[in-house]
């Protein structure tokens, strides 16, 4: 008996026009969570997701819904249909309807009846982001890392001993021999002091 994967039902949800982009974002996350990616994802939104105006029947597919999240005009060409949808109107001029019926078909990895409620949930209550590897916490500066603090402490001790006991000349010297003051004339003791004035 052949498998009947394609007979899995579609799922539908009715949304206001301005809710379409939010739902689309939730749906992307939901189907990615089902393991869809790359070309499969594009194919899914192209062919298995469509929004139909309840007033005039204008159909907007999932890929076009994705474009609504772009900055107007970013794609280059003027797109009056997307501009109207972004403003909360039907994409067809003069249509007064504000609602679209979104239909999502199942594919082998994605069961529509599960993924549509999940998409609504992800849209309305997006999960917090900290688990995302894209947003790392501020890194601890190297001098605050405990391992490096031990090393710095040890280095300080070595430097102190070196300063006290180390060589006073040669390439490793870090201090000079105490300066010997011997040639400075002393004006308070007469003699050469007179000559300086």
Please tell me the distance from the alpha carbon of residue 54 to that of residue 131, in angstroms, as a whole number: 39
Determine how many CB atoms are found less than 10 A away from the CB of residue 24.
24
Please tell me the distance from the alpha carbon of residue 141 to that of residue 35, in angstroms, as a whole number: 37
CA contacts within 13 A on the Cβ side of 65: 34
> By CB under 5 A, is residue 13 in contact with Zn ion?
no
3-class secondary structure, 142: helix
Please tell me the distance from the alpha carbon of residue 46 to that of residue 37, in angstroms, as a whole number: 13
Query: Which listed residue (13, 41, 56, 103) binds Zn ion by CB under 5 A?
Result: 56
* Least distance between Zn ion and beta carbon 18 (Å): 14
**Which stretch, 43-51, 58-66, 70-78, 150-158, contacts Zn ion (CB under 5 A)?**
58-66
* Least distance between Zn ion and beta carbon 112 (Å): 24
**Token pair in block for residue 175:** 């201090």
Nearer to Zn ion, 39 or 93 (CB): 93
Nearer to Zn ion, 8 or 84 (CB): 84
Nearer to Zn ion, 34 or 95 (CB): 95
Query: Which listed residue (13, 95, 98, 103) binds Zn ion by CB under 5 A?
Result: 95
DSSP-assigned letters across all residues of 14-78: EEEGGGHHHHHHHHHHHHHHTT--HHHHHHHHHHTEEEEETTT--EEEHHHHHHTTSPTTTTSS-
Nearer to Zn ion, 96 or 182 (CB): 96
Please tell me the distance from the alpha carbon of residue 45 to that of residue 28, in angstroms, as a whole number: 9
**Which stretch, 49-57, 104-112, 137-145, 180-188, contacts Zn ion (CB under 5 A)?**
49-57
**Which stretch, 68-76, 87-95, 147-155, 173-181, contacts Zn ion (CB under 5 A)?**
87-95
* Least distance between Zn ion and beta carbon 109 (Å): 32
**Token pair in block for residue 32:** 């990615």
> By CB under 5 A, is residue 97 in contact with Zn ion?
yes
Nearer to Zn ion, 90 or 116 (CB): 90
Query: Which listed residue (68, 90, 112, 116) binds Zn ion by CB under 5 A?
Result: 90
Residue ranges binding Zn ion (CB under 5 A): 53, 55-56, 58, 90, 92, 95, 97
């Amino acid at each position: 008996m052949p498998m009947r994967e394609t007979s899995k039902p579609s799922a539908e949800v009715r949304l206001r026009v301005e809710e379409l982009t939010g739902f689309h974002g939730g749906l992307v996350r939901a189907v990615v969570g089902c393991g869809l990616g790359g070309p499969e994802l594009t194919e899914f939104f192209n062919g298995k997701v469509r929004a139909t105006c309840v007033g005039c029947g204008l159909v907007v597919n999932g890929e076009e819904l994705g474009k609504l999240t772009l900055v107007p005009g970013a794609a280059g060409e003027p797109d009056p249909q997307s501009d109207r949808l972004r403003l909360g109107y039907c994409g067809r001029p003069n249509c007064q309807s504000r609602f679209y019926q979104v239909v999502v078909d199942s594919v082998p990895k994605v069961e529509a009846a599960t993924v549509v409620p999940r998409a609504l949930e992800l849209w309305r209550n997006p999960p917090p982001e900290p688990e995302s590897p894209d947003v790392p916490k501020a890194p601890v500066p190297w001098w605050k890392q405990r391992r490096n603090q031990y090393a710095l402490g040890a280095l300080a001790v070595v430097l102190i001993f070196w300063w006290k006991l180390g060589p006073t000349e040669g390439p490793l010297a870090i201090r000079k021999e105490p300066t010997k003051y011997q040639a400075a004339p002393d004006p308070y003791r007469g003699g050469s002091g007179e000559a300086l004035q």
